């Protein structure tokens, strides 16, 4: 699988870098130690899902193997799935492909990773741009 040519950073790395930047920008450098900064940057790992998400996904999982395909990194997605009781059969991340959606590397790589052709996959998304990119 071909990877993109840019240096890939995980979402966790972006969150951490953004936090450091904001603290620097507001003259708050040193307010927290490195462990606390990591904990704050990774608060995304424990967000609550929408109230109907887990029950709806559990219903779908009775008939389908569910996989998430996200720009979030693997550890973030695993933590979110565990925290919110989301029944994913597989967790796929842009991290696996070294690129972010809407790159074709992500969509094509996900199908390949699952041992499927693109036309054998269905994508459900709240983002129209994500659906258009997957179709293309």
Question: CA quadruple 103, 69, 75, 12: dihedral positive or negative?
Answer: positive
The number of residues making up the chain comes to 136
pLDDT number for residue 3: 52
pLDDT number for residue 127: 85
pLDDT number for residue 123: 86
pLDDT number for residue 15: 95
pLDDT number for residue 70: 94
Question: pTM for the full model?
Answer: 0.84
pLDDT number for residue 2: 52
pLDDT number for residue 32: 96
Average pLDDT, the chain: 92
**Which helix (H) or strand (E) covers residue 77, if one does?**
helix 74-84
- Contact call for residues 60 and 38 (beta carbons, < 8 A): no
Under-70 pLDDT residues of the chain: 1-6
Identify the CA nearest to 17 among candidates 43, 44, 38: 38
pLDDT number for residue 113: 95
């Amino acid at each position: 699988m071909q990877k993109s040519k840019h240096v890939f950073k995980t979402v966790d790395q972006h969150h951490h870098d953004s936090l450091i930047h904001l603290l620097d920008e507001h003259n708050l450098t040193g307010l927290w130690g490195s462990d606390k900064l990591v904990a704050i940057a990774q608060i995304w790992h424990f967000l609550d899902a929408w109230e109907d998400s887990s029950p709806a996904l559990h219903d779908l999982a009775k008939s389908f193997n569910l996989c998430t395909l996200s720009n979030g990194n693997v550890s973030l997605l695993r933590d979110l799935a565990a925290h919110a009781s989301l029944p994913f059969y597989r967790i796929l991340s842009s991290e696996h492909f070294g690129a972010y959606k809407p790159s074709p590397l992500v969509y094509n790589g996900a199908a390949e990773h699952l041992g499927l052709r693109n036309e054998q996959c269905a994508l459900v998304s709240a983002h129209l741009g994500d659906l258009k990119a997957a179709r293309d």
